[in-house]
Structure 1
Amino acid sequence: MHLWTRELWRLAALAIAGLAAGWVIGVPGLGLAAGLGIYLAMHLYQLRALYRWLTRHPHDEPPAGSGVWGELFDRLYKYQKGQRLTQQRLRSTLRRIQESSEAMNDSVVMLDRRGDLEWWNSAAERMLGLVAAHDRGQHITNLLRDPRFIDYFNARDYREPLTLPSPIDERRVLQFQITLYGDDERLLMARDITRLHRLEQMRRDFVANVSHELRTPLTVLSGYLETYSDYADQLPARFARGLAQMQEQTTRMQNLVNDLLLLSRLEIDQRTDDATPVRVSELLEAIRRDGESLSGGRHILSVELDDDRQLLGSEQELRSAVSNLVFNAVRYTAEGCHIVLRWRAYGAGACLEVEDDGDGIDPVHIPRLTERFYRVDKGRSTATGGTGLGLAIVKHVLLRHDASLEIDSHPGSGALFRCVFPKTRLIATNNDRSEVQRA
C-alpha cells in the first residue's frame, strides 16, 4: 500500500507541475497533458526494460527500477529463481528415477490416459522391441497385439498379472502387470520369467513321468497282493496283518498316483474346450450316493436345488471336483454331521455349494487349502486316506471352467465350499426354452 501511495503522489506531482508550467505560458491544459505524458513515458520505458529482460536475458540480474517497477522486478526475479531451483530438483529427481529404471532388469513403460506410450527403459526395448524413433506416442495395443493382452488392458482389472510370450521372441515368457496411477495413467511392467516357466514345466513333466512310471509296478504289486489275500486264512496271523496293511498302502499309493496324473493333465491346459450341457441335479444326486457309500451311514447327505439351469463344461471334471469336496466333508467331519450339496443362483451366475456342520476350519488355513499336500491336521491325514491333492484338483477344474472357489469356515461353525460359475457357463433347461418361445 505504501508503494501505491508513493506512485499516486508521483502522478499528482507531475500533473501539478505540468499544470503550473502550462499556467505560466497560458496553456494549462497542454501543461497537464505534458505532465501526464512524462508519467506515461516513464512507465513505457520500464515496461520496455521488463520486456527486454524477460525475452533476451531472463537469467541475468533484473534491470534497475524505482517504485512499483522496482518491487515488480525484484518479485519476478525471486519467483524465477525459485522456479529454476524447483525445476532443477524435479529434473534431478526425474533423472534419478530414469537412471534407477534403466538399472532394472524388468521392463518399465509409462502410458498416458489414452494408453499411448510416453517413456520406457532400455529393458523394454530388449523385451518388447520398442524403438524410440517410431513407437513414442503409439497406442500400446498397436505394438502388443496378442488378443489376451488387449482383453487384459481393456478389462481394467489388473489385480492379477498376465503371462504371455515375448512379442519379439516366442522362446521368452513374460509376465505383464499394469498399475493405474495419477490421472488415469498406467504403468506397465514386464518381467522375464522364462527360467521360472521352464522350471515349472520341468516340475510338471517330472511329476507326470514319475507318476506314470509308478502305475505299472503298483499294478503288479496290487495284483500279487490280491492273489495272496485269497490265501490269507492259511498264513500266520502276523503275516495276514502285514498283508492287509500292504494292500491298504498300495491302494493309497494308487490313489495318489491317479490324483497326480489328473492334476498334471489339468495344469497343462488352463481352459477346457468341453462345452457339454451338464444336468446338475443328476450330477449332485450321483455324488450324494457316492458320498453315502463312503460314509457308510455315519453322515446325513442331502441335495438342495434352487436353480434349474444346466452347466456347460466337462461332466467328468466337474464330478471329480465336487466329489473331492464331498469326500473331504465325509472324511473330516464327525459322525452324525449333516452334509448339503446345493445348486443355486449366485450374483449374475450360479454356484455349487458343499456345506457341513462339522468342526470347521481356522481361517488362518484357508488361503493355503488349495496348495498341494497342505493339511490342516497332519496327524489325521493318513487315517482318513486322503492324498492331499483334492482341493488342488478342485481349483484347477474350476479355472478350466472360468469359475472360482470361495471358502467360508470358522471353528465350531462348519465349513462352506462354494464353486462360483459365471453366467456364460449357464444355459436354460429345455422347459425354460419352450416357455420362452411360447411367450
Structure 2
Amino acid sequence: MSALPLSDIKVLDLTRVLAGPLSTQMLADLGADVIKIERPGTGDDARAFGPPYLADTVGKQTNNNAFYLCANRNKRSVTVNIATTEGQQIIRKLAKGCDVFVENYKVGDLKRYDLDYDSICAINPGVIYCSVTGFGQTGPYSARVGYDAIFQAMGGLMSVTGHMDGEPGAGPMKVGPSIVDYMTGMNTSIGILAALYHRKCNGGQGQHIDVCLLDTVIASLSHHAQIYLMNRTCPPRRGTWGNGGLPSGVFRCADGELMLVVGNDAQFARACTVLGQPELAINPKFAKNNDRIIHVKEIMAMFARLFLKNTLGYWLEELQKAGIPCGPVNDFAHVFADEHVRSRGIKVEVKHPFEPSLSLIRNAITFSGTPITQYRSPPQLGEHTDEVLTEIGYGADDIERLKNVDII
C-alpha cells in the first residue's frame, strides 16, 4: 500500500477558529505533517467557543470542545508567543523548512512580526503561503474582521434561505452550521494543492494564495447568483421548495417528513402514479416542468394533501421502487444510526487522553491506493512543543528557558 498522498509535505499552520483549521486538517488527513501554532496558555480561539467540552479524568471541563475537535485531528500542537522576538525567530526557523505556510490573521498583522509572505519567501522561496481572511487581501473591506454568519448575510446566502414571503417566520435565515467556513476551508485546500502541483512541475516556484470567505460564499451561490446576473432579478426565498425540477420540497406524511425532488417529466409521471393520481401527469397545467413552475403553488398543495394519507416509511419505499429521488428528514441521531451511513464508516473512533474512544467524522474522500486508515485525536494545547523544537535544533535547556519566559 502506498504512502498517503502528502506524506512528504510539511505545513506550518497559524490559523484559528474554523475555515483555516478545516483546510489544514484536510492536508493532515492526506498525510502532511501539520504543525499547529497556538498561543501559550489559551491556544486556538476555537477552544473557548463554548460547550460542550470534554471532561478530564476527574470530571473537570477542559479546552477540548466540539469547535476545536472537529477541525484539528492529525496535527501537532506547538505553543509559541509570536508577539515576542524569540517567538518570531522560532516561526521563521520552522517556516524555512516547510512547504506550506497557512495563516488567517488580519491583513497586514503578520508584517509587524516579519512573518508576512515577503518575509517568509525571502528565507524560503519555494513556500506556498496561503492567507485566509474574511474579505481578502485587497479591496476597501480588506481590513475588516468577520465570522461565518456575517458572510452568509453579506454574500447573499441568507437572502435566498428561509421561509417564503407571506409565510409565518418569513425573512432571511442563516444556514445552521458554519457552511461558509467549511467551503472556504475546501477552497483553501484546493488552492494549496494546485500551488504544490505547480511548484513541482514548474521549477520550484512558490506563491501567495489569497482565499476569503466573501468570495467563497458568492461563488457558492451558483445558479441563484447566475439568475441575478442574467436578468437582474433577485431570486426569492423558497423555503424547502426547489427552483429547478418540480415538485420539490419537504412534504409532511402521517408520521414524519419527506424530502422529494422530481427532476424531470418522467419522474413526475411516476410520482403521480405512486400517489394514486396518474391523471395529473397528462394535465396540461402540469405535464411539462416549465408548466409546473408556472403552477407551482397548485401542484405543491396537491402533493402536500396526498402525502398526508400514508406513513413516511410507506412513501419512501414506494417512491424508491419507482426510481424517484427522496429521503427522510433526519436529525443527527437518525443520520448516525442509518445503515448506509454506518456501512460507509463516516464515524471513526480515536484514542484521546480524556476519552478512550472519541467519535470523530472521517475525511469524506476515499482512495483505493492510498486510503486514510489512521486518525490521531486533535492535540492537547502545546502537546508537541518539545518534540517539534527539538527537531529544528533546540536543546532541552533552550526549551526550558523559553518556557520560563513564556515564549512557548
Same fold (TM over 0.5): no
Question: Higher helix fraction: Structure 1 or Structure 2?
Answer: 1
TM range (shorter): under 0.3
In the superposition, the TM-score normalised over structure 2's length comes to 0.21
Which structure has the higher relative contact order (CA within 8 Å, separation 6+)?
A: 2
User: Which entry has the higher C-alpha Rg, 1 or 2?
Assistant: 1
